[in-house]
Amino acid sequence: MNSPALHTARQAEVSIRADEIETGRLRLRMFSLNDLPPLSLITKDPEVMKYIGAGKPISTEETRSNLVKLVETFKRRGFGRWAVIHKTHNRLIGYCGFTVLDERAGVELAYLLARPFWGKGLATEAARACLRYGFDKLHFDTIAAITRPENTASQRVMEKVGMKYLRRGPHCNMECVHYTISKEEFEFSRELYRLRRAFS
Ligand SMILES: CC(C)(COP(=O)(O)OP(=O)(O)OC[C@H]1O[C@@H](n2cnc3c(N)ncnc32)[C@H](O)[C@@H]1OP(=O)(O)O)[C@@H](O)C(=O)NCCC(=O)NCCS
Protein backbone atom coordinates (compact mmCIF):
# COMPACT_ATOMS: atom_id res chain seq x y z
CA MET A 1 0.00 0.00 0.00
CA ASN A 2 3.02 2.31 0.04
CA SER A 3 3.79 2.58 -3.68
CA PRO A 4 4.59 6.09 -5.02
CA ALA A 5 1.51 5.94 -7.28
CA LEU A 6 -0.73 5.21 -4.31
CA HIS A 7 0.87 8.01 -2.33
CA THR A 8 0.24 10.49 -5.17
CA ALA A 9 -3.37 9.34 -5.49
CA ARG A 10 -3.90 9.74 -1.74
CA GLN A 11 -2.41 13.24 -1.75
CA ALA A 12 -4.55 14.31 -4.69
CA GLU A 13 -7.64 12.93 -3.01
CA VAL A 14 -7.90 15.68 -0.44
CA SER A 15 -8.42 18.45 -2.97
CA ILE A 16 -10.90 17.11 -5.49
CA ARG A 17 -14.51 18.12 -5.91
CA ALA A 18 -16.56 16.24 -8.42
CA ASP A 19 -20.18 15.72 -9.32
CA GLU A 20 -22.06 12.71 -8.05
CA ILE A 21 -25.04 11.55 -10.06
CA GLU A 22 -28.15 10.09 -8.50
CA THR A 23 -30.61 8.05 -10.54
CA GLY A 24 -33.69 6.12 -9.44
CA ARG A 25 -31.79 3.13 -8.06
CA LEU A 26 -28.17 4.22 -8.21
CA ARG A 27 -25.63 6.68 -6.95
CA LEU A 28 -22.58 7.35 -9.11
CA ARG A 29 -19.71 8.77 -7.11
CA MET A 30 -15.97 9.06 -7.49
CA PHE A 31 -13.95 5.99 -6.64
CA SER A 32 -11.64 6.00 -3.67
CA LEU A 33 -8.89 3.56 -2.80
CA ASN A 34 -11.18 2.19 -0.07
CA ASP A 35 -13.25 0.63 -2.85
CA LEU A 36 -10.57 -1.99 -3.51
CA PRO A 37 -12.13 -4.94 -1.59
CA PRO A 38 -15.60 -4.81 -3.22
CA LEU A 39 -14.18 -3.93 -6.65
CA SER A 40 -11.71 -6.79 -6.45
CA LEU A 41 -14.51 -9.26 -5.65
CA ILE A 42 -16.22 -8.18 -8.89
CA THR A 43 -13.07 -8.35 -11.05
CA LYS A 44 -12.33 -11.86 -9.79
CA ASP A 45 -15.51 -13.18 -11.43
CA PRO A 46 -14.60 -14.89 -14.75
CA GLU A 47 -18.06 -14.18 -16.23
CA VAL A 48 -17.76 -10.46 -15.52
CA MET A 49 -14.27 -10.32 -17.03
CA LYS A 50 -15.00 -12.48 -20.09
CA TYR A 51 -14.93 -9.51 -22.50
CA ILE A 52 -12.75 -7.11 -20.49
CA GLY A 53 -9.02 -6.72 -21.18
CA ALA A 54 -7.40 -10.12 -21.57
CA GLY A 55 -10.75 -11.81 -20.89
CA LYS A 56 -9.68 -13.25 -17.56
CA PRO A 57 -10.27 -12.44 -13.89
CA ILE A 58 -7.60 -10.21 -12.40
CA SER A 59 -5.79 -10.35 -9.08
CA THR A 60 -6.30 -7.96 -6.18
CA GLU A 61 -2.93 -6.38 -7.04
CA GLU A 62 -3.96 -5.73 -10.64
CA THR A 63 -7.27 -4.30 -9.48
CA ARG A 64 -5.40 -2.09 -7.01
CA SER A 65 -3.17 -0.76 -9.77
CA ASN A 66 -6.20 -0.16 -12.04
CA LEU A 67 -8.02 1.61 -9.21
CA VAL A 68 -5.07 3.92 -8.54
CA LYS A 69 -4.98 4.85 -12.25
CA LEU A 70 -8.74 5.28 -12.35
CA VAL A 71 -8.70 7.71 -9.39
CA GLU A 72 -5.74 9.65 -10.80
CA THR A 73 -7.22 9.86 -14.29
CA PHE A 74 -10.55 11.15 -12.97
CA LYS A 75 -8.75 13.90 -11.11
CA ARG A 76 -6.49 14.84 -14.01
CA ARG A 77 -9.24 14.93 -16.64
CA GLY A 78 -12.15 15.95 -14.43
CA PHE A 79 -14.10 12.95 -15.66
CA GLY A 80 -13.76 9.19 -15.78
CA ARG A 81 -15.47 6.11 -14.46
CA TRP A 82 -17.74 6.52 -11.46
CA ALA A 83 -18.27 3.93 -8.77
CA VAL A 84 -21.82 2.63 -9.11
CA ILE A 85 -23.55 2.27 -5.74
CA HIS A 86 -26.89 0.49 -5.44
CA LYS A 87 -28.94 2.75 -3.18
CA THR A 88 -31.08 0.00 -1.64
CA HIS A 89 -28.16 -2.33 -0.91
CA ASN A 90 -25.81 0.59 -0.17
CA ARG A 91 -22.95 -1.26 -1.82
CA LEU A 92 -20.58 -0.87 -4.74
CA ILE A 93 -21.84 -2.93 -7.65
CA GLY A 94 -19.50 -1.82 -10.46
CA TYR A 95 -18.53 1.17 -12.54
CA CYS A 96 -19.88 3.31 -15.33
CA GLY A 97 -18.43 6.36 -17.02
CA PHE A 98 -15.91 7.58 -19.52
CA THR A 99 -12.52 6.43 -20.66
CA VAL A 100 -10.15 7.38 -23.46
CA LEU A 101 -8.27 4.25 -24.49
CA ASP A 102 -7.48 5.33 -28.02
CA GLU A 103 -7.50 8.99 -29.05
CA ARG A 104 -8.92 8.07 -32.49
CA ALA A 105 -12.01 6.53 -30.88
CA GLY A 106 -12.53 9.58 -28.67
CA VAL A 107 -14.41 9.44 -25.39
CA GLU A 108 -15.84 6.00 -24.70
CA LEU A 109 -18.65 4.97 -22.42
CA ALA A 110 -17.68 1.99 -20.27
CA TYR A 111 -19.64 -0.06 -17.76
CA LEU A 112 -19.27 -3.18 -15.69
CA LEU A 113 -21.56 -4.59 -13.01
CA ALA A 114 -21.38 -7.46 -10.52
CA ARG A 115 -23.22 -10.52 -11.81
CA PRO A 116 -26.07 -10.57 -9.22
CA PHE A 117 -27.12 -7.16 -10.57
CA TRP A 118 -27.32 -8.07 -14.26
CA GLY A 119 -30.59 -8.17 -16.18
CA LYS A 120 -32.38 -5.50 -14.13
CA GLY A 121 -31.80 -2.52 -16.41
CA LEU A 122 -29.16 -1.08 -14.09
CA ALA A 123 -26.38 -0.69 -16.69
CA THR A 124 -28.85 1.08 -18.97
CA GLU A 125 -29.90 3.38 -16.11
CA ALA A 126 -26.28 4.23 -15.27
CA ALA A 127 -25.27 4.61 -18.93
CA ARG A 128 -28.15 7.02 -19.66
CA ALA A 129 -27.18 9.20 -16.71
CA CYS A 130 -23.53 9.24 -17.80
CA LEU A 131 -24.44 10.18 -21.37
CA ARG A 132 -26.60 13.02 -20.09
CA TYR A 133 -23.75 14.25 -17.91
CA GLY A 134 -21.28 13.86 -20.78
CA PHE A 135 -23.34 15.99 -23.14
CA ASP A 136 -24.72 18.45 -20.60
CA LYS A 137 -21.81 19.09 -18.28
CA LEU A 138 -18.71 17.89 -20.11
CA HIS A 139 -19.88 19.23 -23.49
CA PHE A 140 -18.83 16.20 -25.50
CA ASP A 141 -20.08 16.30 -29.10
CA THR A 142 -20.12 12.53 -29.52
CA ILE A 143 -19.59 9.56 -27.25
CA ALA A 144 -18.43 6.16 -28.46
CA ALA A 145 -18.89 2.68 -27.02
CA ILE A 146 -16.83 -0.28 -28.10
CA THR A 147 -17.11 -3.94 -27.25
CA ARG A 148 -16.36 -7.44 -28.54
CA PRO A 149 -18.80 -8.75 -31.14
CA GLU A 150 -19.75 -11.61 -28.77
CA ASN A 151 -20.74 -9.23 -25.97
CA THR A 152 -24.40 -9.01 -26.92
CA ALA A 153 -25.60 -7.76 -23.52
CA SER A 154 -23.27 -4.77 -23.78
CA GLN A 155 -24.43 -4.02 -27.34
CA ARG A 156 -28.02 -4.22 -26.18
CA VAL A 157 -27.27 -1.57 -23.53
CA MET A 158 -25.74 0.62 -26.25
CA GLU A 159 -28.85 0.24 -28.39
CA LYS A 160 -31.21 0.92 -25.48
CA VAL A 161 -29.51 4.24 -24.73
CA GLY A 162 -29.83 5.24 -28.38
CA MET A 163 -26.33 4.54 -29.68
CA LYS A 164 -25.94 3.60 -33.34
CA TYR A 165 -23.79 0.84 -34.79
CA LEU A 166 -20.89 2.41 -36.66
CA ARG A 167 -18.55 -0.34 -37.78
CA ARG A 168 -16.63 -3.44 -36.91
CA GLY A 169 -12.87 -3.16 -36.58
CA PRO A 170 -9.86 -3.41 -34.29
CA HIS A 171 -9.60 -1.52 -31.03
CA CYS A 172 -6.69 -1.97 -28.64
CA ASN A 173 -5.56 -4.88 -30.84
CA MET A 174 -8.87 -6.70 -30.57
CA GLU A 175 -11.70 -7.19 -33.03
CA CYS A 176 -14.59 -5.02 -31.80
CA VAL A 177 -17.88 -3.42 -32.74
CA HIS A 178 -18.06 0.38 -32.52
CA TYR A 179 -21.16 2.34 -31.57
CA THR A 180 -21.63 6.10 -31.29
CA ILE A 181 -24.11 8.78 -30.30
CA SER A 182 -24.06 12.54 -30.82
CA LYS A 183 -25.42 15.21 -28.52
CA GLU A 184 -28.25 15.87 -31.00
CA GLU A 185 -29.24 12.20 -31.12
CA PHE A 186 -29.37 11.73 -27.35
CA GLU A 187 -32.87 11.75 -25.90
CA PHE A 188 -33.22 12.87 -22.31
CA SER A 189 -35.39 10.46 -20.35
CA ARG A 190 -37.72 11.36 -17.51
CA GLU A 191 -35.83 9.08 -15.12
CA LEU A 192 -34.49 10.64 -11.92
CA TYR A 193 -31.21 12.47 -12.57
CA ARG A 194 -29.84 14.59 -9.78
CA LEU A 195 -26.36 16.09 -9.43
CA ARG A 196 -24.57 16.77 -6.21
CA ARG A 197 -21.19 18.51 -5.94
CA ALA A 198 -19.18 16.46 -3.48
CA PHE A 199 -15.72 16.23 -2.01
CA SER A 200 -14.14 12.91 -2.73
C1 LIG B 1 -22.91 -5.60 -20.05
C2 LIG B 1 -23.53 -5.39 -18.67
C3 LIG B 1 -22.96 -4.12 -18.06
C4 LIG B 1 -25.04 -5.27 -18.83
O5 LIG B 1 -25.58 -4.94 -17.55
P6 LIG B 1 -27.14 -5.12 -17.22
O7 LIG B 1 -27.44 -4.30 -16.02
O8 LIG B 1 -27.47 -6.56 -17.18
O9 LIG B 1 -27.79 -4.46 -18.51
P10 LIG B 1 -29.33 -4.09 -18.69
O11 LIG B 1 -30.15 -4.95 -17.79
O12 LIG B 1 -29.46 -2.62 -18.57
O13 LIG B 1 -29.57 -4.49 -20.21
C14 LIG B 1 -29.07 -5.72 -20.71
C15 LIG B 1 -29.78 -6.06 -21.99
O16 LIG B 1 -29.05 -7.08 -22.66
C17 LIG B 1 -29.88 -8.21 -22.84
N18 LIG B 1 -29.04 -9.39 -22.73
C19 LIG B 1 -28.43 -9.88 -21.64
N20 LIG B 1 -27.71 -10.97 -21.97
C21 LIG B 1 -27.87 -11.14 -23.28
C22 LIG B 1 -27.38 -12.09 -24.21
N23 LIG B 1 -26.56 -13.07 -23.82
N24 LIG B 1 -27.75 -11.98 -25.50
C25 LIG B 1 -28.56 -10.96 -25.91
N26 LIG B 1 -29.05 -10.02 -25.08
C27 LIG B 1 -28.69 -10.12 -23.78
C28 LIG B 1 -30.91 -8.11 -21.73
O29 LIG B 1 -32.06 -8.89 -22.04
C30 LIG B 1 -31.17 -6.61 -21.75
O31 LIG B 1 -31.95 -6.22 -22.86
P32 LIG B 1 -33.55 -5.98 -22.73
O33 LIG B 1 -33.76 -4.92 -21.70
O34 LIG B 1 -33.96 -5.58 -24.10
O35 LIG B 1 -34.14 -7.29 -22.30
C36 LIG B 1 -23.22 -6.58 -17.73
O37 LIG B 1 -23.61 -7.75 -18.37
C38 LIG B 1 -21.76 -6.67 -17.36
O39 LIG B 1 -21.31 -6.03 -16.41
N40 LIG B 1 -20.98 -7.49 -18.08
C41 LIG B 1 -19.58 -7.68 -17.78
C42 LIG B 1 -18.75 -6.45 -18.08
C43 LIG B 1 -18.90 -6.03 -19.53
O44 LIG B 1 -18.88 -6.86 -20.44
N45 LIG B 1 -19.00 -4.70 -19.73
C46 LIG B 1 -19.10 -4.13 -21.04
C47 LIG B 1 -17.77 -3.97 -21.62
S48 LIG B 1 -17.85 -3.13 -23.17
Using alpha carbons, select from 133, 103, 147, 116 the residue that is nearest to residue 195: 133
Q: Could you tell me if residue 116 is inside a domain?
A: yes
Alpha carbon nearest to ligand 1 atom 24, residue? 152
Domain of 148, CATH number, reads 3.40.630.30
CA torsion 16-194-155-187 (nearest 10°) is: -120
Alpha carbon nearest to ligand 1 atom 42, residue? 112
**What residue type is 120 in one-letter code?**
K
CB of 52 within 6 A of ligand 1: the answer is yes
Which residues span the domain enclosing 162?
A: 17-199
The pTM for the full model equals 0.92
Number of domains, the chain? 1
Q: Could you tell me if residue 115 is inside a domain?
A: yes
Mutate to test the pocket of ligand 1, among 50, 58, 113 (most ligand atoms within 8 A of CB): 113
Is the distance from CB of 27 to CB of 192 less than 8 angstroms? no
In a 10 Å sphere around its CB, with 0-12 CB exposed, 13-18 middle and 19+ buried, how is residue 97 labelled?
buried
Q: Could you tell me if residue 81 is inside a domain?
A: yes
Q: Could you tell me if residue 9 is inside a domain?
A: no
- What are the pLDDT tens digits along the chain (200 aa)? 334 444 444 444 444 668 999 999 999 999 999 999 999 999 999 999 999 999 999 999 999 999 999 999 999 998 999 999 999 999 999 999 999 988 888 999 999 999 999 999 999 999 999 999 999 999 999 999 999 999 999 999 999 999 999 999 999 899 999 999 999 999 988 899 999 988 66
For ligand 1, what atom is nearest to the CA of residue 127?
Answer: 12
Q: Could you tell me if residue 148 is inside a domain?
A: yes
Q: Could you tell me if residue 6 is inside a domain?
A: no
Gyration radius (Cα) of the chain, Å:
16
Q: Could you tell me if residue 11 is inside a domain?
A: no
